[in-house]
Structure 1
C-alpha cells in the first residue's frame, strides 16, 4: 500500500505545475459542487415528501417564476466584470461606480417586475408565494457578483466555499422543516426568502472590498492607480457593453424554467411537481460542466482569448470532446438508475417522475457539449450572437411545449426540453463557427 501511494506521489510530481494547479482547483470546485448538488437534492426530497405533489407543485411554479425574473437584477454584470477585468486588468476598476448605480436601478426594476407578475399574472394562488420569494432576486445577484470577484482572484478554495452558502443554508432550513407539525407551500417560500436575504447580506462585505480595489486580481501586472485613466465609463456605457450578457442571462432561466411554468398553468401543480423532480435531478447533473466552464475557466477564458489565443484554442477543442464523453456517461447512468432512484427517494406518490427523468437524461450530452462550445462566445459582439441562440432555443421550447403538453402532460414537457437542448447545441455550434475565427485558425 505504501509503495502504491509513493508511486502515485512520484507520478503526480512529474506533472507540469500548471496541470497540478488546475487539477487541485477543479477538484476543489467539483467536490463543493457535488456537495451542493447533494444538499439541493436532499432539500428537494424533504420538501416533496413534506408538502406532497400539489403543494410542492405550487411552490415549484412560484420559485421558477422568481428564478426567471431574477437575472434582471444586475443584467449581465457578473459576466461583464469578467470580460472587463480579463481584458483591461486593474484599469477596469474605473467601471465599479457606474456598475453599482446600474445594480441599484436593475434591482429595483427586477423586484417591480416580480411584484407585477405576482399581482397581475400569477395563477393558482401563487401571488403570496411569489412575494415571499422576492429575496431570491438580490440573492441571485450577490451570489453572481461575489463569484465573479473570486474567479478574478482565481481563489478556487474561496469560490468552493461560497458556492455552498446557498444550498447549505437551504438544507439547514429543510432540516428545521422536519420538526414542524404543519408545512405548506407558503412555509417553504418564506424559508427560501429568508435564506436568500441572509446569503445576500453575507456577500456584501466582499463587494465593498472589490469596490475599494482591495482584492487580488490574478493574471495581470500589480495594481497601479496611475493607470486608471478616465474614459467613457458611465451607467449608460455599462448598459451598452453588458446588455447582451444580461439578456443571455435572462433567457437562460426562461429556457430552463418555462416548461415548469407552462405545465403548471396548462395541467396543474401536480404535473408540474412531477416534472420538477426530473428537472431537479438534471440540474444536479448539469453542475459538472458548469463547474469547469463557469467557475474554474470563466475568468481564464476571457484573458486567454485576448492574450493567449493558442491556449484558448487548445482548451476549447479538448474540452468539447471531454464534455461530450462525460455527458454520454452521465446521461446513461441517470437513465439506468431512474426507476429505482425515484421510488426510493421520493416515494410512490412521485412514481410518474420516472419516465420524465428517463427522457430528460438525453439532455445530458446535449447540455454538456453546448456549454463547452458556447464558452467561446465571450466578447460583446459574440454575446449578442449568444442572445440569438438563446432566444431561438426559448422560442423552440415554448413551441414544443404548446404542442406536446396537451397530449403528453409532464412527459410532453420532458420531450420539449430535449428538443430545446438540441436547438441550443446546433445554434451554438453555428454561432461559434461564424464569430470566433481564432478557433478556425483565421485572422480576427
Structure 2
C-alpha cells in the first residue's frame, strides 16, 4: 500500500503540473532521494548485519552510530543548500531543492525506525510506518487540489512534502529513543541480557570503518536507480525527464513484490540464516529466483499490451513518447528482480565490498550509455541505457552470489 500510494502521489503530480514543472520536481526529488543514504550512510544495513551476527551484543554499536548519523546528515544538508544555490539550473529548480531538503531528514528516520521494526519482525508496525507518510502526502495533495494555497500546483506539492517530512522526523525521533533505550524486542537471539558497560562500546572510528562500505554501496545503488532521471534533465530537457520518470514509476510499481520480499522481509532473516541455517538460505534463494523471474516476464507481457493506454492516462499531449519509453524500459523488470535476489546475499558477512565494486562498474556502464544515447534519443535513450546496465548488473551479481555462498563464516 505504501508503494501504491507513492505511485498515486506521482500520478497526481504528473497530471496536475506542466511537463516542465513536473520535470523540475521529479529531478529535485530524485536528487534528495539520492542524497538521503549519505545522511544515514549505511547505518541501517549495518545494524541488520551486526544484530544478525552478534545478537544483543550489537547494542555496543548504537550510541556512536547515532553520532555518525548526525554528523553526516549535517554535511548532506550543507551540500544540498550549496548545490541549490550554485548548481546549473534556474531559480524555480533552486526552490524545489531547498524545499525538499527536509525530506532527507525524514528518510533518515524512516530507515532507522524501519530497521528497528525489522529486527523485531514487527511487520504490523513496520507496514504502518512505511504506509502513513505516503497517505498523509496524498491526502494533503488532494486537499490542495480542491483548496489551492498557491497559483502553481508545484508550490502546493512542495508544501505537502515539507509538512509531512517534519512530522515524520518528530515522530521517528520519539520511537527511536524509546526502542533503543531498552524496549527493543529483538527476534531470534533469546531474551535480552545485561547491556555491556560504556567501556565496551564501539568507538566512532570503528562505526565509520564498519558501516562505510554499506553506506557507499547503498548510495551507489540509489544513484544507479535514480540517476537517469537527473541525467535526462541535464543532458536532455525537462519534458524528457518527465517522460522517463513516469515510465520509471510504472516499472517501479511492477517491482513492488520483489523489492518488498528482499529489502523489507528476507534480508534481515538472511543475516541469521547465513550463520545459523545455510541450507534454508540456499532453498529460499532458488525458489525466489524462479518465482520472480516468472513474475517479471509476466509483467513484461502486461506492459506490452497496455503501454498506449498507460501513456494516454498520464499525458494527453504526445503520449506516444511515453509509450515508446515504456516499451523499452519494461525489460528491466525481470532483470532487476533477479538482481535483487542475487544481490541480497552480498549484504551478508564480508561480501559488501564485492557488491560495492560491482555497483561501481555498473554505474560507469550506465553513464557511458546515457552519454551516448540521451542526447540522441532523450527518454528512450535513458531507458535503453538502463536495460543494458541492468543486464550487466544481473550477470555480475549472479557470479558474486555463487562465490559468497561458497564462503563459510560463523556467528560471533
* TM-score w.r.t. length of structure 1: 0.87
Q: Which residue of 2 aligns with 1:172?
A: 139
CA–CA distance in structure 2, aligned partners of residues 124 and 393 of structure 1 = 31
- Secondary structure at the counterpart of residue 182 of structure 1: coil
Equivalent positions of 1:215-234 (< 5 A) are 215-225=184-194, 230-231=199-200, 233-234=202-203
CA–CA distance in structure 1, aligned partners of residues 399 and 199 of structure 2 = 38
The farther-off stretch of 140-149 and 163-172 is 163-172
Structure 2, gaps ≥5 residues long: none
> Does 2:8 align with 1:39?
no
Query: Does the Cα contact within 8 Å between 1:63 and 1:133 map onto a contact in 2?
Result: yes
Q: Which residue of 2 aligns with 1:26?
A: none
- Secondary structure at the counterpart of residue 182 of structure 2: coil
Alpha carbons of structure 1 residues 350 and 192: separation in structure 2 relative to 1, 3 Å: farther
Measure how far apart 1:85 and its partner are: 0.8
> Does 2:92 align with 1:123?
no
Measure how far apart 1:350 and its partner are: 4.3
Q: CA RMSD of the aligned region, Å? A: 1.8
> Does 2:41 align with 1:75?
yes
Q: Which residue of 1 aligns with 2:19?
A: 53
Cα distance per residue 1:168-213 (max 9 Å; x no partner): 1221122023122622434323322222222222212221022212
Question: Which of the numbers 119, 141, 165 marks the counterpart of 2:108?
Answer: 141
- Secondary structure at the counterpart of residue 351 of structure 2: helix
Question: Which of the numbers 64, 85, 91 marks the counterpart of 1:98?
Answer: 64
> Does 2:29 align with 1:63?
yes
Alpha carbons of structure 1 residues 83 and 165: separation in structure 2 relative to 1, 3 Å: same
CA–CA distance in structure 2, aligned partners of residues 274 and 124 of structure 1 = 20
Measure how far apart 1:409 and its partner are: 1.0
Q: Which residue of 1 aligns with 2:227?
A: 258
Query: Does the Cα contact within 8 Å between 2:59 and 2:195 map onto a contact in 1?
Result: no
Query: Does the Cα contact within 8 Å between 2:56 and 2:193 map onto a contact in 1?
Result: yes
Question: Which of the numbers 75, 84, 88 marks the counterpart of 2:50?
Answer: 84
Measure how far apart 1:76 and its partner are: 0.7
Q: Which residue of 2 aligns with 1:9?
A: none
Measure how far apart 1:50 and its partner are: 1.4
Q: Which residue of 1 aligns with 2:177?
A: 208
Cα distance per residue 1:26-78 (max 9 Å; x no partner): xxxxxxxxx22332222122211211211111111111111111111110101
- Secondary structure at the counterpart of residue 237 of structure 1: helix
Query: Does the Cα contact within 8 Å between 1:135 and 1:194 map onto a contact in 2?
Result: no
Query: Does the Cα contact within 8 Å between 2:345 and 2:404 map onto a contact in 1?
Result: no
CA–CA distance in structure 1, aligned partners of residues 122 and 224 of structure 2 = 30
Measure how far apart 1:261 and its partner are: 0.9
Measure how far apart 1:229 and its partner are: 8.7
Equivalent positions of 1:13-412 (< 5 A) are 35-125=1-91, 126-179=93-146, 180=148, 182-225=151-194, 230-231=199-200, 233-379=202-348, 381-412=350-381
- Secondary structure at the counterpart of residue 350 of structure 2: helix
Alpha carbons of structure 1 residues 443 and 155: separation in structure 2 relative to 1, 3 Å: closer
CA–CA distance in structure 1, aligned partners of residues 144 and 10 of structure 2 = 12
- Secondary structure at the counterpart of residue 197 of structure 1: helix
CA–CA distance in structure 1, aligned partners of residues 290 and 163 of structure 2 = 42
CA–CA distance in structure 2, aligned partners of residues 281 and 410 of structure 1 = 14
Q: Which residue of 2 aligns with 1:30?
A: none
Query: Does the Cα contact within 8 Å between 1:51 and 1:184 map onto a contact in 2?
Result: yes
Cα distance per residue 1:95-145 (max 9 Å; x no partner): 111111111111111111211221222413311210110011111111111
Q: Which residue of 2 aligns with 1:12?
A: none
Structure 1, gaps ≥5 residues long: 1-34
Cα distance per residue 1:216-252 (max 9 Å; x no partner): 1101110011566954601111111111110011112
Query: Does the Cα contact within 8 Å between 1:244 and 1:380 map onto a contact in 2?
Result: no
Alpha carbons of structure 1 residues 190 and 351: separation in structure 2 relative to 1, 3 Å: farther
Query: Does the Cα contact within 8 Å between 1:319 and 1:372 map onto a contact in 2?
Result: yes
Query: Does the Cα contact within 8 Å between 1:404 and 1:416 map onto a contact in 2?
Result: yes
Query: Does the Cα contact within 8 Å between 1:47 and 1:188 map onto a contact in 2?
Result: yes
Query: Does the Cα contact within 8 Å between 1:242 and 1:380 map onto a contact in 2?
Result: no
